[in-house]
Structure 1
Amino acid sequence: MPQGTDASHATGSSIVPDKLQEKLPQKVEEKVPNTIHDTGASADTTGNAGMSHATDDSVVPKVAQEAVPKGVEEVLPEKTYLTGRAKGFLGSYILSQLLSHHHSVRAIVRSEAKVDQVRADFPNYNQTSFDFGIVPDITAPGAFDEVLKFAPPFDIVIHTASPFLYSTVSDNLKDFLEPAVKGTEEILKLIKAHAPGVKRVVLTSSCAAVLDFAAGDNRKVYTNADWNPTSWEDVVGGDKGTGYGGSKKFAKKATWDFIEREKPNFGLVMLCPPMIYGPLQHTITKTGNLNQSNSRI
């Protein structure tokens, strides 16, 4: 696979047990790169269920950091990051982790009203280390132009924006496929054009991009060579589950096509998690605003 790694190994989908965390090394805060920024504008992005790189964001970043061997902090340079949807379930966990480790963060939201809401959720961080970019429509040409113009330039982009709330979907093409595929293509294109300093892009996909759900429980071990077999036509005319899974498949495919075709300077990491559950980091005003995975509990 060109430039980067397509990660699709199962490590679980919800909260890492306390007993496991207790066995991990302590004192990790100082071992992580030091500056981060938030992009994304839509999405609860998780997956359907099954396999993939774990992304329970309340836990995994902490676990990953705690696994860094002692002394590594001396060779990890400070980084500037742009990362995913600050007002969503997944994005708010990423934002919480980055801010709690004293990174600088630019958070992407859809409107000024969302800026106020996120500020209220994270009141202890000032504008010198935590600012916002507003992207009303991630599929619009040039949607990320202004957000990517930042000094110092970003080193790493984490993109989590993709729709995953069945209650808001009425058309699979308009509500699932286009935001997932066009939104991903747009940010990749603009990173290459406006942010040449970016060294790595991390995208959240889903196990739904990889699994063949029609195969049932066949005990197959899925890898990055596997793809959801659903066709574009099946996705457009299918139910919401088919729409979501197909949107993740075709966004993933568009991403790797871009990397192979454009050969950008950045490497790519794609995470394909199953369902992600956990308490909320962000405020919601009604249960109807719960992310898709938590709403099933």
Structure 2
Amino acid sequence: MASGTTAGPRPVRIEVSGLTKTFGTVRAVSDLGFTVEPGSVTGFLGPNGAGKTTTLRMVLGLITPDAGSATFDGVPYAALREPVRTVGAVLETAFHPARSGRDHLRVYSRAAGIPVARADEVLERVGLTTAGRRRAGGYSLGMRQRLALATALLGDPPVLVLDEPANGLDPEGILWLRGFLRHLAHDEGRTVLVSSHLLSEMEQTADRVVIVGAGRLVRQGSITELRSGAQGAGTVLVRSPEADRLVAVLSGAGLAATRGDDGLVTVEGATPADVGARAFAGQVELHELRAESTGLEELYFRLTAGQEQFSAGAAAPGATAVTTEGASR
């Protein structure tokens, strides 16, 4: 995949505003709003029952909201002149088991008014050229995910909406998908919205995340922004050849400092600027000074605590009661 070799499709922005949906007595989505910008990968995260799939279905016009809207550059999906050339979506995989992957794509191409030659192009893009003439019924789950992605790309759309596209992929496939989605967004300028329960993978793939819980927006922004908002004064790690004197200086300034091995000092309830200023004033030499990084997984569990649909009453030691499986409705 060569970077910057083509102009790419026109940029399209997704805007969700006030989306609300109730099923009987259950409020699945409540006044939900967020934006997805072109040229970036946006991760859509939330516990089971958070309303992720319901939201994606409303965005794609498959479910009518009770209130609110979802638009692509101001136009609802149902009003798009050529939806397949604007939005490519994968919510679930479904193929005729006796039809080859290539024939599956050719059928969809004809139905959408797209030249059938496009089928071979997208098969190559997702790495299924050699398997394209095999029956889809013999495909592995990971191959089916690739074929579904190829189907979404048939119209060369500027927007991709993907629900759990990494399901069934092996580590090599997940690495490929990460690079592919980032290429589509960063190099081709597409708008990529992807839900996933693989938090560590989203941390490496997504530029921004939208986190929902109980049908409401919990937080949206870049992972850096989320870290900044969640941490504030947190844990600072500092290394010095004068660790004992550093602990004395920091403790004398009212900071909770603990000495560890190899000159490492852990300071709770402080920022790097606080620690650096105190060390400078005390003329203590520093070799390392940094805030303890908060990973996306920790941020996620902190932000969605208590909003999970299922929880274990007596979890095994070290196990978490929160699941992020992608079956939310």
TM-score, normalised via structure 1 length: 0.32
> Higher helix proportion, which one?
1
> Higher strand proportion, which one?
2
Higher RCO structure, 1 or 2 (CA under 8 Å, sep 6+) = 1
